[in-house]
């Protein structure tokens, strides 16, 4: 039977299966373990099964609510980060995403542009469309409103959707709701930016944060370190990734980075050298665009910063 993975702790999983004949009241939730060794084609991953995966489950004769995961279906996409224990391995955070939504703020706390750009580069690399929501508009002064207007222009020109929001004032809430309905969305952002407040405001019958549960081993593992997927009351799903500040890329090459900046990607064939890194090579179309103002200089600086961190292998 096919089931969808809602939670993964690395050793056990929560999956939901739909079979209206057996469970007319709605999908049935199971705890699941992996059966034997699962090999997932081509990916070296520390976690073979991720939140968002469709899996094949086998029910156990002696148990009503536990199942075995026998296979994982092909993923449409996935996002991954470096495995904390082994830098050469991926840790898949979630899969089969329609989009990701980054909640950020320009004040209390201010989300850095470097963080936003790293997030966007990751989304590009994993082929996940990104939405950026600037929350807490009610406390923005003219300075932050001006900054917002500038970033909205810049990021929208790159193809990202950008919204201004305030939970306090109800600003942007209808738009956020419409964007989330009937989609599977990964929700990201530093803690304190208002992720839970937004979701709880947009879907009042829903509470994002879950309570602590214990691991099967009884060690009292905290759920919030793991990604978890939730069904939204009006259709659609949210993947919450608490504790995950950003997802770094493992295998991104220096000369690939500009492909993940849409405004640079458009110009790559115009550079004099086809291996141009857009640093100080002659005839560089990207640098010319920065000088002409058609590429935002802060985007270009974030590009250089990320390039440097790839070189130092700190990202």
- Among ligand GDP, Zn ion, none, the one that 195 touches (CB under a kind-dependent 5 to 8 A) is ligand GDP
Query: And the tokens for 33?
Result: 């373990």
Residue 36: which residues within 8 A CB-CB, separation 6 or more? none
Distance in Å, CB of 284 to ligand GDP, minimum = 39
Q: Does 195 bind ligand GDP (CB under 6 A)?
A: yes
Cβ atoms of 99 and 129 within 8 Å: the answer is yes
Cβ proximity to ligand GDP, 79 vs 202, nearer residue: 202
Which 164-193 residues touch ligand GDP, going by CB under 6 A? 166-168, 189, 191-193
Among 276, 290, 295, 307, binds Zn ion (CB under 5 A): 276
Angstrom distances, CA of residue 222 to CA of 8, 213, 245:
12, 7, 17
- Among ligand GDP, Zn ion, none, the one that 243 touches (CB under a kind-dependent 5 to 8 A) is none
- CB neighbour class for 103 (10 Å; exposed up to 12, middle 13-18, buried from 19): buried
Strands of 90-150 (E only): list them. 90-95, 99-105, 130-135
- Among Zn ion, ligand GDP, none, the one that 286 touches (CB under a kind-dependent 5 to 8 A) is Zn ion
Angstrom distances, CA of residue 283 to CA of 192, 271, 277, 289, 292:
44, 6, 11, 11, 14
Among 138, 150, 156, 308, binds ligand GDP (CB under 6 A): 138
Q: Does 97 bind Zn ion (CB under 5 A)?
A: no
* CA atoms of 241 and 48, how far apart (whole Å): 18
Distance in Å, CB of 293 to Zn ion, minimum = 17
Q: Which residues bind ligand GDP (CB under 6 A)?
A: 135-136, 138-139, 166-168, 189, 191-197
Where do contacts with Zn ion occur on this chain (CB under 5 A)? 271, 276, 278, 284, 286
């Amino acid at each position: 039977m096919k089931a969808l993975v809602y939670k993964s702790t690395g050793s056990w999983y929560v999956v939901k299966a739909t079979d209206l004949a057996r469970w007319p009241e709605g999908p049935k939730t199971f705890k699941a373990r992996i059966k034997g060794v699962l090999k997932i084609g081509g990916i070296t991953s520390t976690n073979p099964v991720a939140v968002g995966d469709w899996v094949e489950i086998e029910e156990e004769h002696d148990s009503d609510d536990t199942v075995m995961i026998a296979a994982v279906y092909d993923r449409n996409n996935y996002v991954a980060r470096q495995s904390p224990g082994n830098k050469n391995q991926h840790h898949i955070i979630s899969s089969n995403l329609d989009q990701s939504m980054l909640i950020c703020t320009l004040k209390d706390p201010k989300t850095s542009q470097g963080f936003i750009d790293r997030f966007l580069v990751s989304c590009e690399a994993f082929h996940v469309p990104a939405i950026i929501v600037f929350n807490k508009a009610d406390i923005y002064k003219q300075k932050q409103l001006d900054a917002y207007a500038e970033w909205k222009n810049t990021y929208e020109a790159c193809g990202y959707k950008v919204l201004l929001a305030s939970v306090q004032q109800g600003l942007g809430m209808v738009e956020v709701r419409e964007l989330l309905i009937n989609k599977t969305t990964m929700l990201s952002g530093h803690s304190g930016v208002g992720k839970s407040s937004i979701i709880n405001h947009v879907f009042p019958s829903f509470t994002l944060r879950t309570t602590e549960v214990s691991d099967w081993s009884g060690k009292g593992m905290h759920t919030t370190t793991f990604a978890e997927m939730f069904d939204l009351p009006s259709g659609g799903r949210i993947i919450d990734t608490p504790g995950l500040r950003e997802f770094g890329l493992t295998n991104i090459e220096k000369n690939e980075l500009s492909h993940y900046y849409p405004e640079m990607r458009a110009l790559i064939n115009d550079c004099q050298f086809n291996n141009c890194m857009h640093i100080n090579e002659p005839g560089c179309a990207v640098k010319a665009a920065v000088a002409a103002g058609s590429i935002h200089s802060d985007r270009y600086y974030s590009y250089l910063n990320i390039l440097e961190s790839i070189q130092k292998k700190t990202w």
